[in-house]
Structure 1
Amino acid sequence: MTVTSRRTFFRRSLACLLLLAASPGAAEPLLSLQFAELEHEALTLRQVDIRIEQNAAGEHRFELQADELALNAADVVRDVSLQCRARLTLAHVACESGRLALTHADLGRLNGAVSFRYAFGQGLEHAELTGLGLAAGRIDLQVARPGSEWAITADLTAVDPGQLQPLLQQVGLALPALSGRLDGRIQAAGWPLTEVVADMAVQELNYNGDSVAQDVAGDLQLTARRQNGDWQNELQLNLTAGELYLVPPLPGYQTPPGFYIAVAGQPIHLDAVFGYAPVTAQVTIQDLNYHHPEVIRLNGAGRLRLGTAGGLQALAVTVPSVDLTRAFPVYLQPWLIDSSYNDIELGGQAALEIGLDETGISALGLQFDDVDIRDPRDRFGISDLSTDIQMTRARQHASRVSWERIDVYQLQLGAGAISLVSDDFSIRVTDWQDVALLDGTLNISELDLRNVGTAAFEMHLAGAVQAVSLPTLTAALGWPELGGTLTGEFAGLNYQGGDLRMDGELLVHMFDGRVTIRELAVRDLFGNLPVLAADVDVRDIDLERLTETFAFGKITGRLSGHIHGLRLENWQPVAFDASLSTLDDGDTRHRISQKALNNLTQIGGGLSGALSRGFLRYFDEYSYGELGVSCRLANGFCELGGVERYNDGYYLLTRGGLLPPWVEVRLAGSVIAWDALIAGFQQIAESEVEID
């Protein structure tokens, strides 16, 4: 028997039943039918047993038993039992004061009161299912069919959403373990659906997973209408209590950002108007507004496509005004979690406009008003930063930036202001105000920024440093005080991907000589382990001025040499090849004081000469031939050398002069731990030992 014939047979059997019911002598039961399968629109019943009985008072009782009731292949309930008082006419059958029970694989045994009215030739007119125990709560369901459209209303009372997880998983919503209370009403119209209206409230919502919710309360209103196959939706959401830690599933992040949001005082509000096209999986956000009181307010619009081949197509977001002290830790700092800037602090007022498309940022507007940026690790800082930056791909824009002070490690730059022109996210400086660098000046001749706001950000800087005194510079860096000034030009200082590289040379004038720095580069400049590399050449340093600066003792002569392959990790030396000597200073007079000689022997480990130590103490200074030292640092050890070899060692100081006393200092060993060598220099600086 086909489905159609079974339906026809069922209807004709009911018509015959009405004739029998009208006869006073009707037998009991009036009707008993069995079907292997019954289909009615969206429902399928299997192994069905239908009975209609009549009692002595003439009242009819309807019973239905079925092994399975299926809405679709995946949503099947079993052991269906329906009992009710039946009212039969030639036009319809009505079921009143009934009970429905069924078994769901995940929700267990469910039962509730039921009533319905079925019209022959038209189908179900209305049905009610009340008091159905569901997920520790209750659901009341009403189904009506005025005309040809379905209307469904579901009222939920004290439902635990955690117990609904099996149902949510069937529609692709996999949520972590959660609990709470859900109340509200859901109304739907049409089959297939043409309209859905939901008004829901949640209390004491808790869940744990990558994201976390604790004691969250709020309400949601949703209106969705189908037009020409697509859905047009309006959403309003209010969070009134609780705490959230949200980790969105973002591609490309090794550690996705997590956002901690706490509801304090006023509700957090979100409303959106958006469309959804099921055929293309396209979501179009016409209007979105988000308000976190006293923290941030934003509005936006955009387009995205769902699914594995989908993604963001366009997004425009405007933040009209925000207090960075409150908003930055909640909504901006989490994006820096994978960077070395994840603990910076911002304060001040800001406004933001940003446009995104499939290729990245398409427009950017950024206004800062007296913003302070502070790095707790003291790598950098900016005070009273103000900006008016506009950038798009379409055309050029004029922008400006000003600040009161900039700190890069221990270096301080004074107030400054620059005017900029942007073109396709590259920025060129058109006007620059010279900036104080400690007690000198930083002059910029070129400043270009490229790929602003992207991971491919680049900076090119050219200019000059003028008249920075070395005593001020070394004091700022916490180094021993040096005399002289720092003056030099740099043809190009380039920053890309966290690395800094200098083109050309930087010249430093100090101790009446010059120091030239070449091949300067810093990898991971603001990272956890910056690495500096450079080659340094030293020419004609006045030893007398140098040794007086360090209280080493007086030495006269001119020092030259190099420090090549210099490598600092976290600003501590780990490798270099250095050689410094007086071999190239011409006819300069070479004299060394008793104190300097004694300190030099602490390095060399041995003093030799024609006269005894007892005799040497009667002289304040002595002649010497040449002075020199070399060090090849690698793996924590320094391979030492001197002016010339002797046996298995070196001379640090050779004999010189026509008359005695003559002195020479020999290097007793050739390898010393770098830490021990530095400790020796510190001991020399902190103590004075006389030659006996």
Structure 2
Amino acid sequence: MARCRFLQALAVVAVLLAVPGAGVAAGLQIEIDIGRAVHQAMDAENLRARVFLEQRQPRFELTADALSLPQPVGRVTELRLDCPAVDLGDRRLGCRDGRFSARAPGVTLDAAALEFHWDRSAGEIGFAMPWPGLFQGRGRIQGSADRTGLGLEFDLGGLDLSSLAASPLVPVPNLGVTIASGTLALSGRLDTREHLQSLRTDLRVAELAFSDAQGLRAGEGIAVAGRFVHRAGGFDIQLGFTDGAVFVDPWFLDFSEEGPVEMSVSRLQQTGTASWQAADALLRLGEHAVAHLQGLRTTGARLDRGEIRWEASRMDRVGELLLGPMLAGTVLGDSRYQGSGEGELSIAGGRLRAASASWGGFGLEDMRGRFGLDALSGQAHWRDDGPGQASFEFDRGGHLFGIPVGSFAVELDLEPRGVRVKEPVDIPTLDGALGVEILKVRMRPDGPEVEFEGAIRALNLETATRTLGWPPLSGKLAGVIPRVRYDIDGLRVDGRLLVQVFDGDIVLRDLRIRDLFGRAPTLEVSADIRRIELRRLTEAFDFGRVEGRVSGKAEDLLLVGWQPERMRLAIATADEDPGRRRISQRAVQNLTELGGGLQGAISAAFLQFFEDFGYRRIGFACDLEGKVCRMSGVADRADGSFVLVQGGGLPRIDVVGHNRRVDWPELIRRLNAVRDGPGPVVQ
């Protein structure tokens, strides 16, 4: 294979043309068949040149069957360069009004305008041409080339992005999306000469639209302005998104509302097929948040290494735009945030190694009303290889299922896979407090595991029952909470939970809560009821006075959405209680209003003459299934009725129930009506 240099051949031609008297003939034609020309940057096949001299005006043609160039251009065929006007000088060979034609995969040039000159002494070729309309663009390129490389300046606009992305000539990374529309404007300089090797490009993108086949990534009307700079140390990139909207599952962002969204990367380098590293980067979400990243290294979509410092001045927007979609389907997936925060993250080996954060005025509110925090401030420091600490102050507390929580402070010990309360703390609520003695949270592969021990300190029952939508009670609630566990199977109590109320005890057992923060949490429990003081109970309901004590059981109680769906409840006079047993006229009448009847030694007309009555036994039972309660009392009668109050002494009066099947919601409605309405009047 003959190795030659085409430029040297042109030099020979130029010398011949410049020899005095060479143009004596009417016309001169020189044909040079170079064959194959090999250069470090190209490989030309069947290269031919023809030089013409007519009326002392030289011109030439250059053709080649194929030209192999470095990727991404690759193999170019059917090359033809026509130079109708050649400028000759002692050192310079120039071409005016040239035309260039060639074919490459996906591209055809047909007589594209070209001007160039060759400085023989400097060994440099300079060229300029209008953009030949590729990818529907317009503009101009110019530059120069010598043995060390190429210098190119360009100013282009109106490039069609969908055509550009589909062309094999353009090294666009495979992003897995199809570009439907958009235009690109570029201006800058490329230099590949020795010791320079640089690229600077200013770009503007307008009306970009893209999508993928799964519908998980899409954008419309996007406007971007930015700059790419490449040097020996890698790429520097700056981008600003100002218009349009983008969806990248699970996030949606409208740049015109939240922007500008800015991104910059310094010294970005590709280290492998799908690996990149960068010295530092910055991401800015409008005026809402900013993240500074240093020492980054990625593999595919995974961040292998990096130091991240973040600031969020508006947690309300950050929560709605970023946290909410990311946490969808979790307990926090439907929350609204407020306040500000900042922190740092350290990632190594593809894992989070350390994290710290501080918050000011932070709050969140579950939009389903299940929980909320207000005005939290504090800081936390965590490591994956040792202990850490956190301290928080809840300046205005919050609520849990509508139950208010007052202000308190807590200190935590952070472990690599968990957290625990450092010292016992009282959380104010319902005019009392929830005492936290032990609280441990461990992260397991299948979800968190929580252990809790504490106490209930004099909670206000009236506020609690009103908040939960239960029949209103008054008085105080106190008790001890044994070990409580919460994991993937729900919440359960290991042991028995003692609740002291109405001067008696309620012992809860087999307590379990499932889907605690779901749309319809379920609670299963059974209870032993011991010596409840009826006077305090009936005063709480404002039902009318009843004196005495009752005991009983609530078996297989099921609450769905905190409303009873199933239970077997039975309470009656405690046989071992020797105390006073009296029932007021108003209580008798209210029991009658709720569906009972009167039988006794006197008629109802004479009840008004007595303030209260003695009784021997009092009680009722309810087997609830769905919305129907099957009632019974302390004794059954032959006619199918049942006794709710069994009289004792004179005047004797019994309260009898006749309807064994009672609609539970209607019963609760009547009970509330009795409490809220005026007392009955007997005439």
* TM-score computed with the length of structure 1 as normaliser: 0.79
2: CA distance, partners of 1:667 / 1:123: 116
Farther off after superposition, 328-337 or 344-353: 328-337
Equivalent in the alignment of 1:59: 58
- Structure 2 matches for 1:30-429, cutoff 5 A? 31=31, 55-62=54-61, 64=63, 82-85=81-84, 96-101=96-101, 112-115=112-115, 127-142=127-142, 144-167=144-167, 171-173=173-175, 174-189=177-192, 195-202=197-204, 204-207=206-209, 209=211, 210-212=217-219, 214=221, 216-225=223-232, 232-239=233-240, 242-243=242-243, 245-248=245-248, 255-262=249-256, 269-279=262-272, 281-291=274-284, 294-307=287-300, 311-319=302-310, 322-324=313-315, 327-358=318-349, 360-407=351-398, 408-429=400-421
Equivalent in the alignment of 1:561: 552
Asked whether the equivalents of residues 107 and 163 of structure 1 are also in contact (C-alpha less than 8 Å), the reply is: no
Measured against aligned partners, the alpha-carbon deviations of 1:314-345 in whole angstroms (never above 9, x if no partner) come to 23211367454565545544433443434534
Number of residues of Structure 1 aligned to a counterpart in Structure 2: 667
Equivalent in the alignment of 2:665: 675
Measured against aligned partners, the alpha-carbon deviations of 1:78-113 in whole angstroms (never above 9, x if no partner) come to 776543237699999875431234567767767632
Farther off after superposition, 622-631 or 574-583: 622-631
Which amino acid in the other structure matches residue 422 of structure 1? Answer: L
Measured against aligned partners, the alpha-carbon deviations of 1:28-72 in whole angstroms (never above 9, x if no partner) come to 87549899x998766678999976655454522315486998866
Which amino acid in the other structure matches residue 436 of structure 1? Answer: P
Measured against aligned partners, the alpha-carbon deviations of 1:515-565 in whole angstroms (never above 9, x if no partner) come to 223344433434433333333332211223322332333444422222333
- State the secondary structure of the residue aligned to 1:176: strand
Asked whether the equivalents of residues 435 and 442 of structure 1 are also in contact (C-alpha less than 8 Å), the reply is: yes
Farther off after superposition, 672-681 or 564-573: 672-681
2: CA distance, partners of 1:38 / 1:392: 64
Is 2:506 aligned against 1:505?
no
User: What are structure 1's unaligned runs of at least 5 residues?
Assistant: 226-231, 249-254
- Structure 2 matches for 1:267-666, cutoff 5 A? 269-279=262-272, 281-291=274-284, 294-307=287-300, 311-319=302-310, 322-324=313-315, 327-358=318-349, 360-407=351-398, 408-432=400-424, 434-451=426-443, 456-475=447-466, 477=468, 479-496=470-487, 500-582=491-573, 584=575, 586-587=577-578, 590-601=581-592, 603-604=594-595, 626-644=617-635, 649=640, 651-653=642-644, 655-657=646-648, 661-666=652-657
Asked whether the equivalents of residues 649 and 666 of structure 1 are also in contact (C-alpha less than 8 Å), the reply is: no
Which amino acid in the other structure matches residue 59 of structure 1? Answer: P
Asked whether the equivalents of residues 536 and 564 of structure 1 are also in contact (C-alpha less than 8 Å), the reply is: yes
- State the secondary structure of the residue aligned to 1:400: strand
Asked whether the equivalents of residues 596 and 655 of structure 2 are also in contact (C-alpha less than 8 Å), the reply is: no
- State the secondary structure of the residue aligned to 2:146: coil
1: CA distance, partners of 2:503 / 2:490: 33
1: CA distance, partners of 2:128 / 2:643: 104
2: CA distance, partners of 1:65 / 1:218: 40
1: CA distance, partners of 2:612 / 2:638: 28
Asked whether the equivalents of residues 214 and 244 of structure 1 are also in contact (C-alpha less than 8 Å), the reply is: yes
Asked whether the equivalents of residues 153 and 187 of structure 1 are also in contact (C-alpha less than 8 Å), the reply is: yes
Identity of aligned residues (%): 24
Cα distance 1:43–1:531, how it changes in 2: closer, same or farther (>3 A)? Answer: farther
Cα distance 1:346–1:63, how it changes in 2: closer, same or farther (>3 A)? Answer: same
